[in-house]
Amino acid sequence: MKKVVVCDPIHEIGFKILSEAEDIELVDASKTPKDELLKIIEDADGVITRSPTPVDDKFLNAVKKLKAVVRAGVGVDNVDIDGASKKGIIVMNVPTANTIAAVELTMCHLVSSMRAFPNAVNALKRDKEWNREKWLGNELYGKKLGVIGFGNIGSRVAIRAKSFGMEIIAYDPYINPSKVTDLGMTYTTNFDDILACDVITIHTPKNKETIDMITAKEIAKMKDGVRLINVARGGLYNEDDVLEGLRSGKIAWLGIDVFNKEPLSDHPFWNEENTSVTPHIGANTMESQEKIATQAAENIIQAVRGISYPNALNLPIDTNKTPEWAIKYLELTQKISYLITQTIKKAIKKIRVTSYGEVSEYSDSLLTFAVVGAMTEIVGENVNYVNATFLAKENGIELETVEKSNENSPYKNLIQVELLTDTKSYTISGTMFEDNFRVVEIEGFELEFEPKGNLIFFRNTDVPGVIGEVGMTLAKNNINIADFRLGRNKKGEAVAVILTDSKIKKDVIEELSKLKAALSVHYAQI
């Protein structure tokens, strides 16, 4: 059993997912005083935290066998990532679950910045003042919107703003310009182009590069009457300098959801008429909280099992400079490598990762992730991204990367993981369909399925009646088939990948192996 401690409140669906996992011991410490929490986490394999729980020296010194921390949300300001890395603890967040919520709050502030909407509402409801002339606003249509950071949130804000008829200027040195230009927007590497916009919104992480990204120096270059929006992280705009800009009239409006210090009982911004302020509610929708809890629970389960570490922040790559699509391929590589090792059950002599297309640029990292996937099954829970290649070589496993063009491939990017034993080579190939992991080939058989859940791999001679016999065998054992994928070759063989709703016991695999057409039967869980 793996012990998972939930340190802070999350949506009830997260607790449900954790409690239903047969190999997880769930401890709900969401209401436990923080000084008592240190005793509870001492023997934890994984923890889920939110803002109230600092993962600091005290926290890290209290744990003895912690493998992973999942921050149920985007920001990890309260997590000592370097300290966790030194102890071999993987730190993950849930960066996309609140995307739509944050995007829509940005749009609320964006519209309010032009129409002084909160002030008009308050004047009518609170002060009983009907004064249409006082609330003469501006239109978004035709205005220039400067978007700093064109990731999950920034890009979606831009798309929505464009539908209002705004002209979009995007600044993000870590993306391919085509991500912007393909949407009919303007990409710039000159930050002054952003400062010349009518409205500026920021959607970046908080780090040394982005803290105080807007100060008096930048404000001086802006248009008179500029509007500023920040629902990302506190400190990206210098609060003192922005306050001065508001009071001087240089800044016509500030829409802000995040502050340097939180929570707050008072702030100078609250006394200014030309502001809309919200108490860090970017993720506060029912839908968002449910997604956050679901992803946090699923991610910590995968992490303590050693399957994968989705959205890990202390990986052997620079996540600020590695595009999201590439990080997805790294995770896919680890998954399919882990999948192969469960099916072969033999000593591995070599791990080879072949990459096709643009993803080949990250071949070294792909290999590291493949090694983590393979070594997890071989050496157990002590493997991580730091020691994986060392453990592989210590076990006499040769490592190799191959980069190939995708000229003759139907896929823009493709990963093939190959594990070689003394007698045979085992391969699985995978790709991404939008944001979905897909296996598209197993040992030369073309078929497509998602590497997730309880999976039976049934290889057989390609003769009539096999599917029926497999189905009857599983039905007799009260096992429901959730999905059935089939691949065939020209040698008269076929392979089926069967996704089931429940775990498969050893005797069921043995029973399937006795079917006349069966060549091999393996079971994997991922």
Q: Tell me: the pLDDT tens digits for 450-467?
A: 999 999 999 999 999 999
User: Of the listed 50, 203, 280, 305, which one is catalytic?
Assistant: 280
User: Mean pLDDT in the chain?
Assistant: 91
Per-residue pLDDT, 202 = 98
Predicted TM-score (pTM) of this structure: 0.62
Residue type, 200: I
As given in the structure block, the two tokens for residue 140 are 């978004």
Helices and strands counted in the chain (H then E) = 17, 22
Per-residue pLDDT, 196 = 98
Q: In order of start, what are the domains of the chain with their CATH numbers?
A: 1-95+284-314 (3.40.50.720), 99-277 (3.40.50.720), 317-452 (3.30.1330.90), 453-526 (3.30.70.260)
Per-residue pLDDT, 379 = 59
Which residue from 199, 190, 150, 144 is spatially nearest to 170, judged by alpha carbons?
Answer: 150
Tens digits of per-residue pLDDT, 226-279?
Answer: 999 999 999 999 999 999 999 999 999 999 999 999 888 899 999 999 999 999
User: Of the listed 20, 262, 287, 400, which one is catalytic?
Assistant: 262
H-only helix segments in 71-215: 81-86, 99-115, 117-125, 152-163, 178-181, 191-195
* Active site annotation includes 262: yes
Q: Give 176 or 184, the one with higher predicted confidence.
A: 184
* Active site annotation includes 233: yes
Find the mean pLDDT for residues 430-444.
91
As given in the structure block, the two tokens for residue 524 are 């994997």
> How far apart are the C-alpha atoms of 428 and 133, rounded to whole Å?
68
User: Of the listed 109, 203, 227, 233, which one is catalytic?
Assistant: 233
Q: What is the 3-state secondary structure (H, E, C) of 289-301?
A: HHHHHHHHHHHHH
> How far apart are the C-alpha atoms of 420 and 352, rounded to whole Å?
8
Per-residue pLDDT, 316 = 66
Sole residue written with tokens 């016991």: 505
